[in-house]
Amino acid sequence: MIRHLALLSILLLPRLAVAWGAGHDDVAREVMSRLPEVLRGKFTPEIIEEAIKHDSHYPDSFQPFLPEEVGENAIAALKQAGLKSRYDLHLDHGRVAGFAQLVEAIREGDAAHIAHWIASHSHVIADMVACNHDPMVHTATYGWGPWKVRLPHEGDFSKVAPLLDLGGSGHDTAGGAEAFAAAVDRLLLHDDGRDAARQIQELLLYGQEGARFCSPRGVKVLQGAAAWIDTQDMKGRELLWQTIGELGAWAVARTLRDVEVALRFAKDGTQVKLTPEATAAAKSTIESLMRERRLDEDALFAPVLRELQPGDENITGIVLEPTWDMNDAMLGFSSRVQSAATVRTLQKLGRPHATFDVRRLLAAGFPEPKQVPLMIIVATQFTSYHWMKTDVLETALADYLKRGGRVLWIMGHGGMPKKVLEPFITAMQRTEKAYLPVPGKRFTGSRLIAHLPGDPAWQIVNTPETPAGWQRPYCPWRLEPTADSALEPLLTLESEGVKHLVGACTTDHRLALLPVYAVTPYLLSGESRVTSPAEPELDDASTTVLLGVIEKMLK
């Protein structure tokens, strides 16, 4: 009953986007089948079933640790390590604390606790590489699935979404299970004799390393799943099996390696404790990894990258940010999809453009306005992330504007560069704790009116308040300028007869501010069929808004 209520509580949390669902069973099942015999021989069939069906989902709950599940000593140790709930096992220091409990359980010889911590550990590792933490797959799963966005030929994304979990193919006897097992064989790891410091650092790096392993594969998972649902394309199904199998195998291989290390630590008395030195070393390594990551490692971006060329003039620039750990980002997790869609749309329309890595802009500043007179930045959030500091980017933005550049800032519900956007800040209003300008039930069905030639308008036909997900196109801001304000209207939201200004530009057209929902494909009325499921682009409505604003700013 306790487990049932815990699982129910996690499913009802509106802002949580869990990773693998049933796929955690598949990861744990594969781990249990490959454990060293010295451990597997301790487990009864009941213990193994409990580990696979229940313990592999243990971290997906905000419930407290209970003594009847993990023991009083474990609870004391977890509390000392700074963990308040089971969900904290996902955190960097939580993974270290969970691994330490695995070592202690082996040392104590409690079979049920050993199996519990192995399964729990497999969960948090699998979450680091889960494809629905890839921005494109996440959008398809939690956004396009509930909206039933249509595929090119048959069906819609509600049929695709179940295949974007390892559970959709990990035990599929038609070929998915075989591909998964083969991937584990290829990626299998073993204890390499590492010491505690090296093991702790590895645990702290799983988030970034998992994201890096996933970023070339996530889009392929979506491509394969959509092809299979849309046209029963067997090559697509095989692509799905191979790529999602590799993601699951990454987690299985590291869990098994960590179990072997834990066995040795338990035997030789090695203590596992997170130290300031280990944290500092991991932070340094993470920041090095972040600097060396290439944008073309992200399959979302690779096909649309175009660097600025020496002879380019009158180019529109679009800022991109690589995929990091889980939902981490400087400019917002979901901003990557709208940014990639913007680039692809400009590319298809033959509009001169170039892509800019946000890390390059932080290091070297923005380009010359003669070459790039307009920069587009989609930023559903604006927060410092490791060495990527908001004040540095804001200073670079201010310098670009001073040199004659123009900026279109597409905002969400997070922060923003208040000094650069100062002309808008005094006019911005929101209802406390709201995520949209009007309540969600009123927002859906409202009209979005663009103050562009022809005054195009659209009805909001899909709700941004999807059951879960970090992709929700939330933006709570209304603009209420004074009569003498130097702002021109760009977008008005009309809800139940009341009009709210939600997008504007300065009278000199050097700065423009739009809500992210205005450039979110398939939210507004119009065609809701994708051209290519794994290659995002703006739909007709969001293209009209974006191009209209670009034209206005560059006149």
Share of residues in the chain with pLDDT > 90 (%): 91
pLDDT, mean of residues 249-253: 98
pLDDT at 493: 98
Distance CA 81, CA 252 (A): 25
The ranges assigned to domains in the chain are: 2-12+22-292, 298-554
pLDDT band at residue 3 using 50, 70 and 90 as cut-offs: very low
pLDDT at 407: 99
- Stretch among 391-395, 399-403, 483-487, 548-552 having the lowest mean pLDDT: 483-487
CB 409 within 8 Å of CB 419: no
**Tokens linked to 543:** 């293209």
Tell me the CATH class for 2-12+22-292. mainly alpha
CB 141 within 8 Å of CB 161: yes
pLDDT at 484: 82
The overall average pLDDT reported for the chain is 94
pLDDT at 19: 58
pLDDT, mean of residues 86-97: 96
Task: Say if residue 390's pLDDT is above 50.
Answer: yes
pLDDT at 22: 86
Task: Say if residue 2's pLDDT is above 80.
Answer: no
Task: Say if residue 5's pLDDT is above 80.
Answer: no
Task: Say if residue 312's pLDDT is above 60.
Answer: yes
pLDDT at 326: 87
Task: Say if residue 259's pLDDT is above 60.
Answer: yes
Angle CA 454–455–460, to nearest 5:
130
pLDDT band at residue 284 using 50, 70 and 90 as cut-offs: very high
Task: Say if residue 252's pLDDT is above 70.
Answer: yes
Taking the model in full, what pTM does it have? 0.93
pLDDT at 526: 84
pLDDT, mean of residues 332-349: 97
Task: Say if residue 224's pLDDT is above 60.
Answer: yes
Give whole-number Cα distances, 177 to 159, 219, 300, 504, 549, in Å. 20, 21, 27, 53, 49
pLDDT, mean of residues 379-392: 97
Distance CA 20, CA 124 (A): 10
CATH number among 3.40.50.300, 2.60.120.200, 3.20.20.70, 3.40.50.880, domain 298-554:
3.40.50.880
428-429 and 478-479: which strand pairing? antiparallel
pLDDT, mean of residues 261-272: 97
pLDDT, mean of residues 431-457: 95
Distance CA 37, CA 395 (A): 59
Distance CA 359, CA 237 (A): 36
Share of residues in the chain with pLDDT > 70 (%): 96
pLDDT at 471: 94
